[in-house]
Amino acid sequence: MFRDPSLRPLAWIALILFICLGTTDYAVGQEKTNPPSSTGEAGSTTGTSTGLTKHPGRPLLGDRGPDFKLKTYGTEEEFQLKDFRGEASVVLVFVHRREGYLKSYDELGKQLDEQDIQMAFICRQGATDKKLEETNTPVLCDRWGDVAKSYGALDLVSRDIVPSIVILNREGYVRFFIAGYMPTAEALGETVVAVLKPYEPEGA
């Protein structure tokens, strides 16, 4: 190919660089399309099976939930997540305005409160309606959707909340996440108890 012997070393260098760059691009592409599995307090899991994917703004199982401070709907009271660390587990329910599960979830919230588990509804300002006014569970106004976004519960196109549930243990770590599907209150109650139950080895 190169008749001039002085050019042959340059050809070999170019070939080596081409192979190295090609390998690097392939590895990066694999990392983007196949995110590594995450191991948290709730066990080993992959993004596909839980809806948790490793991208900015969405905590994985075992990550500490982002702290926030929001005003309670209809009052000037503030709800700050870190205030519950070491005191109570927290169930965050990101509410879409058209969902009709609020009444049954509110009843569940009262039952969980007796077990030192705090439930809170989070919605965009303007999504509040008569149903939210009648709840005993705190309704938090996430006016700009920043909290929902930090938990992966915001549709970045419509800027509306995606119905989602996040369960945090007493230390504030994520133990459960589900988006786009809201279980019945009974099923949610069973899930809360299951994921927050202290681990007990067999034979203990």
**Residues 1-25, mean pLDDT to the nearest whole number:** 52
Higher pLDDT, 26 or 161: 161
**Bridge partner list, 196:** none
- CB distance 54 to 36 below 8 Å: yes
Entry pTM: 0.69
Tokens of 109: 């919230």
Question: Would you state the pLDDT for residue 122?
Answer: 93
**Residues 166-193, mean pLDDT to the nearest whole number:** 94
**Residues 102-114, mean pLDDT to the nearest whole number:** 91
Share of the chain above pLDDT 90, in %: 42
Tokens of 58: 């969405």
Question: Would you state the pLDDT for residue 3?
Answer: 56
**Per-residue pLDDT at 119 exceeds 50:** yes
- CB distance 195 to 178 below 8 Å: no
**Per-residue pLDDT at 111 exceeds 60:** yes
Higher pLDDT, 75 or 171: 171
